[in-house]
Structure 1
């Protein structure tokens, strides 16, 4: 009986040791790939995971002199205060509305452009268009903000000068609440749709050309090839990016809005991020700002999980 147990132990050890050795051999064989991955891992650890400790500030009456550990515990005091403020719900509403506008009009734009460019057969024209639409992505919102003021200003803006020359009345694209959200969405699409097109162009480039040749032989026209071949083959990419966009629905574009908005349009343009900036850095209410940020992150997490679950129900892989 003892011998049998001994034999079992030897057998068990012989199975575990090779697995560990195999893992180390695998890591050593791919050591250069992991070495290149190390800076990215370090970046996320330092700038995304370590700062999560600061979330405890939302549950304390934070004082710079006392520090995080020395500050008095406040519990849910700051959350109760936020939920009782009409201003807080207004910025939540503005954030959701602007994000939905950006999603509704901004998400399909790069897909449509990628599909159109995929049909272009003149290589020089195709490369020229790609370069032109990519360029705005590399320009900061500070520069684009000044450019938009020059274009849309009611006094000497180029667009309004054209409208007045045609006998119309100048429109307050950036000064009136009824136009400001549309201006935000349009400028966001203009800046980012070209860059997002790269992802879909890469997905389209991965489609086997023989599939199109077979479809042509079977008599499929261009529209039929688009509906029954191209779109189904890039469906996974579209759903994956849609999940990521839904997971960031509470991110309405801080930099863009901060550059373009002003007190006259706070009612329609003040979002969570600008609200946190004002009460946190400008007014020095750090605990309140941390509570808002934590609430926003929780909503984003729930939306991401729900979107991923929905994608899996549709038969797609999802993000995890």
Structure 2
């Protein structure tokens, strides 16, 4: 006699119409504000459009021209190099500050508030203030003490201007990164450090054997977020150097925006399309590299 077998019936859960009603406005707005303009922009990148009026399809002409344009290539090199250096500087300083601000020191709550203040100030305001400092205050102080290298504005030096951009970007970006690291460090049970101390582990040993591994998820999040933000660098550079001297600190975002206002609409749409594809590739590589290696 054959034993009866259980038949698994898959039931489809009914979705309430109210959920569709709540989702529809969001989808509609996203389509109109993001998807549709993106599709239109990619389409116009294959034309000679100046942003209005009639245009003709010219195929891959804009894309071919971009790969032989030294200013565009310089913008990509600067943006990538700036993003890599800024990620390292911001995360290293923020992590060390997080360690200090979670240690047993006095007034650490007040110090946390002080370090977070740059988050609430506009990027353009910060850039203009530092522009004045680099162009006037710092050269005046350097002249008074006889320090030759800084008697002229670093913003006017093609070899040093990018360092000023990194410094100002770090000053503004460290607070948000710091908050995430503080949360990561505070999530580590104190018992772990006490056990390590009883075993004779030094402070340096505890840092690299306990703190860094147990905050790896927070480190990965900060690296990914900060790299994405720095690749889109625009406002700080505009207020600080406006892409100068020459094109030494012109980012990809700046070159795209300036092209829109100078009549190179379709050309810069091709540039924006390439930049968009590069951003997708970088995001996929980051996800592939970090997937399953660390969790919060």
Report the TM-score range of the alignment, normalised by the length of the smaller protein. 0.7 to 0.9
Counterpart position of 1:60: 47
- C-alpha change, 1:164 and 1:116, in structure 2 (3 Å) is same
Aligned-CA RMSD value: 3.3
Deviation at 1:197, TM superposition (A): 0.4
Counterpart position of 1:280: 260
Superposed, which structure 2 residues align to 1:169-188 within 5 Å? 169=148, 170-188=151-169
Q: Structure 1, residues 189-215: CA drift from partner, whole Å, max 9, x if none? A: 111112210111112222222322333
Counterpart position of 2:124: 142
- C-alpha change, 1:128 and 1:43, in structure 2 (3 Å) is farther
Deviation at 1:304, TM superposition (A): 1.8
Counterpart position of 2:248: 268
| Cα distance between partner residues in 2 of 1:43 and 1:317 | 35
Counterpart position of 2:284: 305
**Structure 1: runs of 5 or more not aligned:** 1-7
Secondary structure of 1:20's counterpart equals coil
Q: 1:174–1:180: 8 Å Cα contact kept in structure 2? A: yes
Corresponding pairs, count: 288
Q: Given the two structures, how large is their TM-score scaled by the length of structure 1?
A: 0.78
Q: 2:46–2:59: 8 Å Cα contact kept in structure 1? A: yes
Counterpart position of 1:20: 13
Counterpart position of 2:178: 197
Instruction: Using CA pairs under 8 Å that are at least 6 residues apart, name the structure with larger relative contact order, 1 or 2.
Output: 2
Deviation at 1:49, TM superposition (A): 3.6
| Cα distance between partner residues in 2 of 1:192 and 1:247 | 12
Matched, 1:81 2:74: no
| Cα distance between partner residues in 1 of 2:26 and 2:119 | 22
Deviation at 1:146, TM superposition (A): 2.6
Counterpart position of 2:192: 211
Deviation at 1:47, TM superposition (A): 4.2
Q: 2:75–2:252: 8 Å Cα contact kept in structure 1? A: yes
Q: 1:246–1:304: 8 Å Cα contact kept in structure 2? A: no
Deviation at 1:240, TM superposition (A): 3.1
Counterpart position of 2:84: 100
| Cα distance between partner residues in 1 of 2:59 and 2:198 | 69
| Cα distance between partner residues in 2 of 1:51 and 1:159 | 44
- C-alpha change, 1:64 and 1:49, in structure 2 (3 Å) is closer
| Cα distance between partner residues in 2 of 1:247 and 1:303 | 9
Q: Which has the larger radius of gyration?
A: 1
Q: 1:212–1:225: 8 Å Cα contact kept in structure 2? A: yes
Structure showing the higher helix proportion among its residues: 1
Counterpart position of 1:5: none
Q: Structure 1, residues 117-137: CA drift from partner, whole Å, max 9, x if none? A: 121343xx1122111111112
- C-alpha change, 1:263 and 1:65, in structure 2 (3 Å) is closer
Q: 1:244–1:304: 8 Å Cα contact kept in structure 2? A: no
Secondary structure of 1:299's counterpart equals helix
Secondary structure of 2:248's counterpart equals helix
Q: 1:172–1:179: 8 Å Cα contact kept in structure 2? A: no
Deviation at 1:41, TM superposition (A): 7.4
Counterpart position of 1:316: 293
